[in-house]
Structure 1
Amino acid sequence: LPLLSQAILDGNQKEGNRTLQLKATVLLDAWVDPYTQMAQNTNYALMHGMISAQEKQQLDEKYQHNLPAINAAIQEKCGLYMTNIAQLADPDFSPIYDYLNRADVRAALHIPSTQPLTVNWSQQVSTNYQSGVNDSYLPAVEKLLEQKLQIMVISGLNDAKDCNFLGTQAWLNKLSCKAAKDFHQAETEQWKLQPDGAVLGFTQNGGQLSWTKVLNAGHMAVRDQPAIIMLLKQLIGF
């Protein structure tokens, strides 16, 4: 998403190109600075009682030179569903398939109607990205902020994968531009849909850069907590 956002901004500057009005980028449990994020996996597991302090030390020592394997090792030890530690499996994707296969939706997205969508993952896309899957795109995020693009980061607090909220906090802490400094100084506030409603999560809003941590949500946070859509509507203004 940072790369796509930059491509749009660059394209807008080229003479003769059609201008696309990009208002914001939403990074949802995002893979931004992989080694910084993977280094927090055992901290997340320890803080949630999934492993002991001794097991954390053993895992850190064993996988210090092989961080990409550490999440699977934690999962093997604790036996939890790491995408959302409060669930047993993925939510049902059929409502999403039904929506994306609707004739009006496919027409709006310029997708031929002959081949229905039946899967949520592409081997071809995975293969294309495999060589750089652990590259850091932190500089790309920093550059977008310097270009005044609004960025909203969202984390599901039940996400125990490599994109858990502790890893997200770690890469956010490495940002140093003006927007990031404003974000670092912002206080954490309760996120509610109504002033007297239940707390759904916590927000830290620096204006241009914000971060929302969502209760009862995992890696696919919008599926687990659809109220996130209200945040996006507010951000994008529709």
Structure 2
Amino acid sequence: MAKASSFPMRVFLVLSLVVLSRAAVDFASMVESNFPSVQAEKFIRGLNLSPKEDVNVVEGGAAPLLSEAPTGKKIVEKRISFPNLIGEGEVGFAVEDLGHHAGYYNIEHSYAAKMFYFFFESRNSKKDPVVIWLTGGPGCSSELAIFYENGPFSIANNMSLVWNKFGWDKAFFTEHPELAENDFYITGESYAGHYIPAFASRVHKGNKNKEGIHINFKGFAIGNGLTDPALQYKAYPDYALENGIITNAQFNKISKAVPVCEMAIKLCGTDGTVSCMASYYVCNGIFNSIMSAAGTINYYDIRKECEGSLCYDFSNMEKFLNINAVRESLGVGKIDFVSCSPTVYQAMLVDWMRNLEAGIPALLEDGIQMLIYAGEYDLICNWLGNSRWVHAMEWSGQKEFVSSPEIAFEVDGTEAGVLKTHGPLSFLKVHNAGHMVPMDQPKAALEMLKRWTQGKLSDATAEESNPEKLVAEF
């Protein structure tokens, strides 16, 4: 995803799929469509992480990237410079100094599909970690994270860009071979709780099988994700009751649907597409019943009211990315940008209820670090459901993790969350945050990432620091 200020982290952003959303879909028309039963698996298999062909780097200019990619090229990329960029001390930087890139990755085994990405270089050490960020949806754009969470800048109402002092920036490994030895981390939120475990398994498998360039894969982090639907949907009534969203009578009524949901999910795991579609509608009846009782509550942050289709106003982002000068700078031609695609959302519903926790234990056994973090006020991917699947996961360190004490996660001497950790597994409940932790608690999120990638997440306290010191010491 993206990131800001002088934080010396390299970020390779894939704009694919974003915020877990609550869209209404006509089931009858969906069944008539052709849903590949293994879409997610095909996507992962088709993603050649270490392309052997040469890449095509476009040297400046406003020529659309799509028209620059010759046949057989895996990647086409160009350095970019956003128009209307203003901010503290950053004015006057040349594009070469900023190291901002935009590009397309050609997806194999598809009908000429391409994946757009941003890549923001570190402004400090060449040894800084490489971090990829994926948002959820399914079917939304990771630009939501770039401009509203942990990207290098945010969008002002006058369509100018303002530097984000808590951004996560400051690659492909064939395009940028100088990064191949850097530590590599996969991060994201929401429905990326499905993508990230699959992506992590594929990278680790490629390394073990000596496929292409070795990637120095160290760990993955999921924020307020959907990973194990059976346990997470069961937690909905409990979370809603504990937070006063529903009454005891409503809780008793809604909870009767939980066993039916659990059975539907089991059938999804064994019986393919139709059962997975059925489980989506059966189980989301639980969530929809809670929302009927909740009224206009924002299910991404129960402290707020829901406004618009995504419960937040992200309209500035769509306006900005559809400005002609911005599209020319990115080299995307006349393609219109949309925050979320209903077409992609619907096509991925067959994958919704699949359990992606299944492949995680093998990664932990091989020493791959995993951080699950969750803002405490998110309903749709709440901390309670995430905590339950993390604690229930069977691996060699399960008993030790379960019995580990909770410790305060402190930032500037104040408790910013509650942490539990053992070996490669960590779970962090973040205070005063909803679904989008880097947006609600940007400084705590940056501190979390810094400590985690440095192996210091369990440090009980952190030295009080201003933003400049925080990014400088990373």
TM-score range normalised by the length of the shorter chain: 0.7 to 0.9
Q: Secondary structure at the match of 1:136?
A: coil
Aligned partner (choices 206, 215, 220) of residue 11 of structure 1: 206
Higher strand share: 2
1:215 deviates by 1.1
Partner of 1:203: 419
Aligned counterpart in structure 1 of residue 354 of structure 2, from 135, 139, 153 = 135
Distance (whole Å) between structure 1 residues aligned to residue 316 and residue 421 of structure 2:
32
Give the superposition deviation at 1:147.
2.0
Question: Alpha-carbon deviation of 1:139?
Answer: 1.2
Closer/same/farther in 2, CA of residues 139 and 122 from structure 1, 3 Å limit: same
Change (3 A) 1:187 1:112: farther
Write out per-residue CA displacement over residues 73-122 of structure 1, whole angstroms, 9 at most, x where no aligned residue.
11110221111001224455478779999xxxx9xxxx754468844434
2:212 aligned counterpart, secondary structure:
coil
* Contact 1:91–1:223 (8 Å) recurs in 2: no
Equivalent residue for 1:216, pick from 432, 439, 450: 432
Q: Which amino acid aligns with 1:193?
A: V
* Separation in structure 1 between the aligned mates of residue 386 and residue 356 of structure 2, nearest angstrom: 13
Tell whether the 8 Å contact from 1:39 to 1:67 is kept in structure 2 after alignment: no
Map of 1:147 onto structure 2? 366
**Are 1:75 and 1:81, in contact at CA under 8 Å, matched by a contact in 2?**
no
Match of 2:415, SS?
A: coil
Match of 1:37 in 2: 232
Which residue in 2 is equivalent to 1:52?
A: 247
Q: Which runs of 5 or more residues in structure 1 are unaligned?
A: none
Q: Which moved more, 1:11-20 or 1:140-149?
A: 11-20
Which residue of structure 2 lines up, in the alignment, with residue 186 of structure 1?
404
Give the number of the structure with larger relative contact order, counting CA–CA contacts within 8 Å between residues 6 or more apart: 1
Is 2:346 aligned against 1:165? Answer: no
> Rg bigger for which structure?
2
Secondary structure (helix, strand or coil) at the match of 2:348 reads helix
- Hey, what's the Cα distance between the residues in 2 that align with 1:168 and 1:205? 14
Separation of aligned partners in 2, 1:16 and 1:63: 43
Is the CA contact 1:185–1:206 (under 8 Å) kept in the aligned structure 2?
no
Map of 1:95-114 to 2, 5 A cutoff? 112-114=331-333
Residue 284 of structure 2 is aligned to residue 68 of structure 1: yes
Whole-angstrom distance in 2 between the partners of 1:211 and 1:229: 16
Decide whether the 8 Å contact of 1:201 with 1:214 is kept in 2: yes
Q: Which moved more, 1:90-99 or 1:181-190?
A: 90-99
The range that moved more, 13-22 or 222-231, is 13-22
Q: Which runs of 5+ in 2 are unaligned?
A: 1-195, 261-281, 455-473
Mapped to 1, the partners of 2:337 and 2:448 lie a distance apart of 28
Q: 2:299 aligns with which of 73, 77, 82?
A: 82
Deviations 1:39-74 (A, max 9, x none): 111111111111111110011225642322211211
| Percent of aligned pairs sharing the same letter | 25
Q: For residue 177 of structure 1, what is the aligned residue in structure 2?
A: 395
Displacement after TM superposition at 1:234 (Å):
1.6
AA of the residue aligned to 2:423: G
- Give the TM-score taking structure 2 as reference length: 0.44
Secondary structure, counterpart of 1:24 in structure 2? strand
**Which structure has the highest helix share of the two?**
1
Secondary structure in 2 aligned to 1:30? Answer: coil
TM-score (norm 1): 0.84
The Cα RMSD (Å) is 2.7
The answer (yes or no) to whether the contact 1:186–1:205 under 8 Å persists in 2 is yes
| Structure 2 contact 197–357 (Cα < 8 Å) conserved | no
Secondary structure of 1:121's counterpart equals coil
Is the CA contact 1:179–1:208 (under 8 Å) kept in the aligned structure 2?
no
In 2, Cα distance between equivalents of 1:21 and 1:93? 35
Q: Deviations over 1:131-174 (max 9, x none)?
A: 1210111211222212211000001110111x211111221121
> Aligned partner of 2:246: which letter?
I
